[in-house]
Structure 1
Amino acid sequence: MTAPLVLLSAGGTGGHLFPAESLANALKASGIRVVLVTDKRANAYAGAFPAEEIIEIPSATPSGRSLPQMAKAALLLGKSILKAIPVIRRLKPAVAVGFGGYPTVPPLLAASFVGVPVAIHEANGVLGRANRLLSRRASLIATGFEATKGVPAGDAGQRVHTGNPVRPAVLEAAKIAYPALSKESRVQLLVFGGSQGARVMSDIVPLAIEKLPAELRARLSICQQAREEDCQRVRETYRRLNVACEVEPFFKDLPRRIAEAHLIISRSGASTVAELSVIGRPSILVPLPGSLDQDQAANAKSLADIGAAIVLPQVEFTPERLATEIQSLLAEPERLTRAAASAKSAGISDAAERLAEAVLKLASTTQNGIKS
């Protein structure tokens, strides 16, 4: 007998794709077949995705100030839904699961139209626009945060807080204890800003380090992710200050580096916040500004509320303010130790298994009959 199949859909960024990959691994461990439907951008991240088939369906984001552009995007989404319907009929999935972003709209609407149960997972603290659109048709709404804003009142879908699935490398890094820290010891500082770095980190952090007392700078060892075009100037600043540094565009072993750090300075995407929580590390978070949903601000607040992070809106993220925060934290190492413990207390290391259980429960009610 052929094993049942679950269709997963994620696109746009690695932040959407990585939780889907974690769920795929958990489902496969239960003997469930997995197919991934994604778009061209996310397909670049999908090389190691554990799916028996990866299907690319075009998508577009129908938002912006130009009505012609919005109309063009809506037309493309409509065509993609028509393209996805025969794919759904061929695959006959027991359930279709989406992880946010407009690339999930065509396959999940197509699944709904042909009678396949739909589940959505919202990684952020605010329901995204694509998930908001799909929520009315979802039989299951799983959330990464216990309090997720924007879920429309009266939705028929069952809601369950699963947490955000994390990669196996994160679970391995979570086994590493918080590094001992005193007022004299070496300090490991990790700086990153998303999968390709953030220009603001390169602009602000080195200048903040320059404002620290020389005796404190001498204790620092900085690992910083920066855009390729920014790497050299960041390195040169740290070398001029005699600060030990490693500056690269990308770190494949970022979870391990998080575990080895005493303090992290970063954006507050859902995956980042989940990894900081599961590994248990203190942070200074700078939410991405300008988002209509302000999802990163909500994510960061979840850690700030329990004393695990300091949140600096980008307008307050100046060299002077950052230097003050770093100096204050390092003057009281016990604050960092407590923040690390607080972050760890919020981590959900089995989120992938929780989500898989919820998906299998939903799928068991279908005609295809997956039994958990």
Structure 2
Amino acid sequence: MSDTKPLIILAAGGTGGHVFPAESLASELQKRGYRLALFTDKRGGSYSGVLGGLETKHISAGGVAGRGLIGKALSAFSLAWGTFQAKRLLGKMGPRVVVGFGGYASVPTMIAASLGGYASMIHEQNAVLGRANRLLAPKVKRICTSYARVDHIGGVDSSKVNFTGMPVRANIIDVRNTPYPVLDETSPIEVLVLGGSQGAQVFSDVLPEAFGKLPTSLQDRLHITQQCRPELLDETRKRYVEKGLNATLDSFFDDVPQRLSKAHLLIARSGASTVAEVTTVGRPAILVPYPYAIDDHQTKNAHALDETGAGWLIPQDGLDADQLAIRLEALFTTPKTLINTAAASLNAGRPDAASRLADAVEELIEV
């Protein structure tokens, strides 16, 4: 990697939704020859891949809104100390651009970048601007988004906003051109169920019963692959066995891209990474947003997919076995609906999101 190109600092930490786009951007920027460093919180020592190989600085960070007076005081102190740390490090390292990916781990670094006059940008993964990014939006030069419309951007200058999309892992892009699997009156029906990093209990509670209400002719063709919470694996497996259904269950699948490419239908939560991955591959999805997400951002993500005709939103409190069985039977017996929805999903994907993000960084370098 050349040392003649300027240094880019990435500020990321916390959940995978914040880290995956940072990883994708880092990979793309490395290909373009840039020097990179990562500013993160104390959890950043466990990163693998490209991020794990970067020069890493650990910055003190507290939640944007602590709980109670003591919590707020500790959070404010941590934020102030982290901003001081980051400002000092930025002064020593002299980056050309600082990029933040939301979450409280990025806040001190991005505030320090603003105070120091460094070119800066943020990336928002969801269809709702997160609380950390809301705080930072007025201070940065660019706001890159995963959706064409994002709530809570507010009165920010529209010229700062760049719809890049949500970067996905390279192995997801690798299967983008896999054709939608053949679905006729006799073919197997592959259903993939993903519940986020920990699985979703509601899927274990409702799906075996819903699949069990389908006509026998459809049940015989079904193959269900479902991610479950570890503590629910045995009970969920027992439910499928009692219904006589063919199901593969595990708490983690390391070959999700291949399983997604073979799926006729995805049933999942609607986190930013899941929505980006299913639209990159181009598969129809029933999305059940996690109802307790901050600012209900998963519902907004699912709405965005639903509005493009790329899937269907079902609120968790409306996930009823009887109604779901009716919908599944209609979908499986009218393959054209699934095929058309798969095409809309593929059209909604932005496989070049990492490249668009890197372009945005280079635009700031040239300003």
Query: Corresponding residue for 1:139?
Result: 141
Ranges in structure 2 where 5+ consecutive residues have no aligned partner: none
Q: Does the CA contact (< 8 Å) of 1:58 and 1:76 recur in 2?
A: yes
Query: Corresponding residue for 2:223?
Result: 221
Query: Corresponding residue for 1:56?
Result: 58
Query: Corresponding residue for 1:264?
Result: 266
- 1:152 corresponds to 2:154: yes
Residue aligned with 1:54, SS:
strand
CA change 1:144–1:349 in 2 (3 A) is same
Query: Corresponding residue for 2:85?
Result: 83
Q: Does the CA contact (< 8 Å) of 1:141 and 1:157 recur in 2?
A: no
Between 256-265 and 1-10, the greater mean CA deviation after superposition? 1-10
Query: How far off its partner does 1:59 sit?
Result: 2.2
Q: Does the CA contact (< 8 Å) of 2:66 and 2:75 recur in 1?
A: no
Between 337-346 and 78-87, the greater mean CA deviation after superposition? 78-87
For 1:187 and 1:310, the matched residues in 2 are separated by 18
Matched to 1:354, the amino acid is R
Counterpart of 1:33 (choices 17, 32, 35) is: 35
Query: How far off its partner does 1:65 sit?
Result: 5.3
Query: How far off its partner does 1:62 sit?
Result: 3.5
Between 206-215 and 177-186, the greater mean CA deviation after superposition? 206-215
Q: Does the CA contact (< 8 Å) of 1:33 and 1:51 recur in 2?
A: no
Q: Does the CA contact (< 8 Å) of 2:10 and 2:38 recur in 1?
A: yes
Q: What are the superposed Cα offsets for residues 321-347 of structure 1, whole Å, 9 maximum, x if unpaired?
A: 222221121121110000000000111
Query: Corresponding residue for 1:357?
Result: 359
Taking the TM superposition and a 5 Å limit, the aligned residue runs for 1:153-192 are: 153-155=155-157, 158-192=160-194
TM-score (norm 2): 0.95
Same amino acid, percent of matched pairs: 42
CA change 1:322–1:40 in 2 (3 A) is farther
Residue aligned with 1:271, SS:
helix
Query: Corresponding residue for 1:368?
Result: none
CA change 1:173–1:327 in 2 (3 A) is same
Query: Corresponding residue for 1:236?
Result: 238
Q: Does the CA contact (< 8 Å) of 1:136 and 1:157 recur in 2?
A: no
Counterpart of 1:325 (choices 327, 332, 340) is: 327
Query: How far off its partner does 1:35 sit?
Result: 1.1
CA change 1:43–1:284 in 2 (3 A) is farther
Query: Corresponding residue for 1:316?
Result: 318
Query: How far off its partner does 1:92 sit?
Result: 1.2
Ranges in structure 1 where 5+ consecutive residues have no aligned partner: 366-372
CA change 1:65–1:240 in 2 (3 A) is same
For 2:278 and 2:195, the matched residues in 1 are separated by 13
- 1:67 corresponds to 2:69: yes
TM-score (norm 1): 0.93
Residue aligned with 1:89, SS:
helix
Residue aligned with 1:7, SS:
strand
Query: Corresponding residue for 1:21?
Result: 23
Residue aligned with 1:58, SS:
coil
CA change 1:255–1:58 in 2 (3 A) is farther
Counterpart of 1:203 (choices 176, 189, 205) is: 205
- 1:297 corresponds to 2:299: yes
Residue aligned with 2:239, SS:
helix
Query: How far off its partner does 1:40 sit?
Result: 3.3
Query: Corresponding residue for 1:348?
Result: 350
Residue aligned with 1:160, SS:
strand
CA change 1:124–1:111 in 2 (3 A) is same
Query: How far off its partner does 1:348 sit?
Result: 0.9
Residue aligned with 2:183, SS:
coil
Count of aligned residue pairs for this structure pair = 365
- 1:280 corresponds to 2:287: no
For 1:359 and 1:215, the matched residues in 2 are separated by 54
CA change 1:48–1:30 in 2 (3 A) is closer
Q: Does the CA contact (< 8 Å) of 1:223 and 1:247 recur in 2?
A: yes
Q: What are the superposed Cα offsets for residues 31-83 of structure 1, whole Å, 9 maximum, x if unpaired?
A: 10111122234543445426531222232223365333233222222221122
Between 169-178 and 78-87, the greater mean CA deviation after superposition? 78-87
Matched to 1:7, the amino acid is I
Query: How far off its partner does 1:292 sit?
Result: 3.9
Give the number of the structure whose residues are more often helix, by fraction. 2
